[in-house]
């Protein structure tokens, strides 16, 4: 069974600075977390599930990564990883093909009461088949 091993920041070409990533087994996933977002993450079978929540912007993002996606982007571990030695790695990006994304914002965010939902209740609203990816 897969598990979250470590978390921290990675840097890769094209980014102005380091960005947040999660290590599951031997793979690193760049999840698209912004500084002001609250993160909840968990493993569900063979998927890394991510809930990114920014109450001030009235925006909530669900991302689903298959842990079997092939990492293609060269990166370097930057900071925060406590169980992983500094290394050059390949990462899966949040906008890579196969990553599913659902964004709830604005009026839809308010109408669904997303600000007060826990992650499981928010994920019950998620419909990846009609989501942006």
Q: What is the pLDDT of residue 104?
A: 95
Task: Flag whether pLDDT at 130 surpasses 80.
Answer: no
**CA pair distance 129, 133, nearest whole angstrom:** 9
Number of domain units in the chain: 1
Task: Flag whether pLDDT at 110 surpasses 70.
Answer: yes
Give the mean model confidence (pLDDT) for residues 55-61. 97
Total-model pTM: 0.91
Domain that holds residue 33: 4-130
**CA pair distance 30, 8, nearest whole angstrom:** 10
Band (pLDDT 50/70/90 cuts) for residue 129 is: low
């Amino acid at each position: 069974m897969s598990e979250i091993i470590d978390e921290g920041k990675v840097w890769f070409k094209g980014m102005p600075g380091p960005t947040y990533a999660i290590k599951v087994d031997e793979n690193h996933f760049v999840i698209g977390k912004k500084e002001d977002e609250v993160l909840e993450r968990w493993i569900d079978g063979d998927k890394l599930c991510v809930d990114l929540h920014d109450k001030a912007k009235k925006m909530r993002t669900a991302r689903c990564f298959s842990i079997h996606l092939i990492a293609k982007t060269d990166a370097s571990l930057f900071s925060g990883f406590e169980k992983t030695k500094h290394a050059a790695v390949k990462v899966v990006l949040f906008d890579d093909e196969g990553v599913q994304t659902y964004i709830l914002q604005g009026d839809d965010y308010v109408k669904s009461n997303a600000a007060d939902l826990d992650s499981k209740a928010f994920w019950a609203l998620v419909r990846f088949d009609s989501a942006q990816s």
